[in-house]
């Protein structure tokens, strides 16, 4: 077992440790939030745990208040009290939304994250961000509340589709780009034999950054690299019914924000390194250059902005980020054109 901080467990037996933890806590009721995929592939790993099951549909399109109402209704009908616990057994959507519902039900019940996707393991389950989408804007409604525990079992990834795996891998690439050049160099070639160690590394990097700045007033903004443009592309695709995953959008965002990072000192050679790696690993976003104004409108609605100014995290070098850098539409348009023509 690898313990990170006081409440993140990484182990191929993590769900066994989860069962032991539940026995030690004496909760009044145990609720498990799943989707149709985690109900089939991951729920059996919890064994014969006495629990109430809440199942929702998978996918970012369901990360909204309507689904939250269904979750709250299920808790209400089962008479969940403030001594109950909600286990989020799933990917980033389950973790973000389940955390939000737990934190707001009766002003808060315990939440345990049991991530089943690579994205959730290295990013969504760590750091206490909980939220849902609103009018196609990503994570627009939410709050910061740390889970009681996080149990990460890398072997659950054995059934994860390759496309979903690579979507999570984008967040790991980001961790290297913003804080560890050697880790970035290692990740440029996918090596699943080292995956467990890499998951531990990514979680440690994020945990360290969040520990210094839990409410994103400073250094935690590093973690937004790739997300200002990436979230806008993801939201635009979501609004227009185009299939593009969060991690794929973040990869596209990192490509473009690396180009814009020339203004903060990122060298031409390092920009090419980022571009070549992302081009090799990820599909192109299903957008066109003439759609830049519509995509920019989502950038303008980003929750990190201040007084109508777009604040972005950029790179000064591989392994070093800088936050609250203002970017403008012409810079985005140029970066998008380069991205689409490469």
The set of catalytic residues is 107, 129, 171, 206, 216, 220, 224, 227, 231, 246
Is residue 195 exposed (0-12), middle (13-18) or buried (19+ Cβ within 10 Å)? middle
Short-list 332, 255, 263, 271, CA closest to 298:
332
Is residue 129 exposed (0-12), middle (13-18) or buried (19+ Cβ within 10 Å)? buried
Q: Compute φ and ψ for 5, nearest 5 degrees.
A: 65, -145
Find tokens 């920009």 and name the residue. 271
Residue 124 DSSP label: I
Asked whether 229 and 298 are in contact (CB, 8 A), the reply is: no
Is residue 288 exposed (0-12), middle (13-18) or buried (19+ Cβ within 10 Å)? exposed
Scored b (16 or more CB within 10 A) or e, 266-287 reads: beeebbebbbebbeebbeebeb
**Rg (alpha carbons) of the chain, rounded to whole number:** 19
Find tokens 């009290």 and name the residue. 81
The torsion of the CA quartet 114, 115, 121, 123, rounded to 10 degrees, works out to -100
Contacts of 159 (CB under 8 A, 6+ apart): 41, 42
Residue 121 DSSP label: I
The torsion of the CA quartet 135, 213, 210, 177, rounded to 10 degrees, works out to 80
Contacts of 59 (CB under 8 A, 6+ apart): 93
């Amino acid at each position: 077992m690898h313990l990170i901080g006081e409440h993140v467990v990484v182990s191929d037996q993590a769900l066994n440790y989860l069962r032991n933890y539940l026995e030690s806590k004496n909760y009044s009721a145990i609720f498990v939030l799943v989707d149709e995929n985690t109900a089939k592939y991951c729920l059996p790993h919890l064994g014969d745990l006495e629990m109430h099951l809440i199942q929702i549909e998978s996918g970012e399109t369901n990360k909204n208040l309507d689904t939250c109402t269904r979750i709250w209704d299920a808790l209400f009908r089962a008479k969940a009290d403030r001594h109950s616990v909600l286990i989020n057994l799933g990917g980033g959507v389950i973790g973000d939304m389940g955390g939000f519902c737990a934190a707001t039900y009766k002003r808060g019940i315990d939440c345990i994250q049991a991530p089943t996707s690579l994205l959730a393991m290295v990013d969504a389950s760590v750091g206490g961000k909980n939220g849902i989408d609103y009018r196609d804007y990503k994570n627009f409604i939410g709050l910061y509340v740390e889970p009681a525990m996080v149990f990460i079992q890398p072997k659950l990834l054995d059934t994860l589709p390759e496309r979903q795996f690579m979507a999570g891998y984008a967040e790991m690439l980001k961790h290297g780009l913003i804080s560890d050049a050697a880790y970035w160099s290692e990740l440029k070639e996918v090596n699943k034999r080292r995956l467990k160690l890499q998951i531990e590394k990514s979680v440690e990097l994020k945990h360290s950054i969040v520990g210094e700045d839990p409410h994103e007033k400073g250094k935690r903004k590093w973690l937004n690299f790739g997300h200002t443009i990436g979230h806008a592309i993801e939201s635009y695709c979501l609004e227009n019914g185009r299939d593009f995953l969060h991690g794929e959008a973040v990869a596209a965002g990192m490509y473009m924000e690396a180009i814009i990072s020339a203004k903060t000192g990122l060298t031409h050679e390092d920009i090419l390194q980022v571009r070549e790696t992302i081009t090799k690993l990820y599909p192109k976003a299903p957008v066109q250059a003439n759609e830049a104004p519509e995509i920019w409108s989502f950038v303008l609605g980003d929750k990190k902005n201040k007084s109508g100014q777009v604040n972005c995290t950029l790179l000064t070098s591989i392994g070093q980020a800088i936050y609250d850098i203002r970017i403008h539409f012409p810079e985005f348009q140029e970066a998008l054109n380069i991205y689409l023509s490469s």
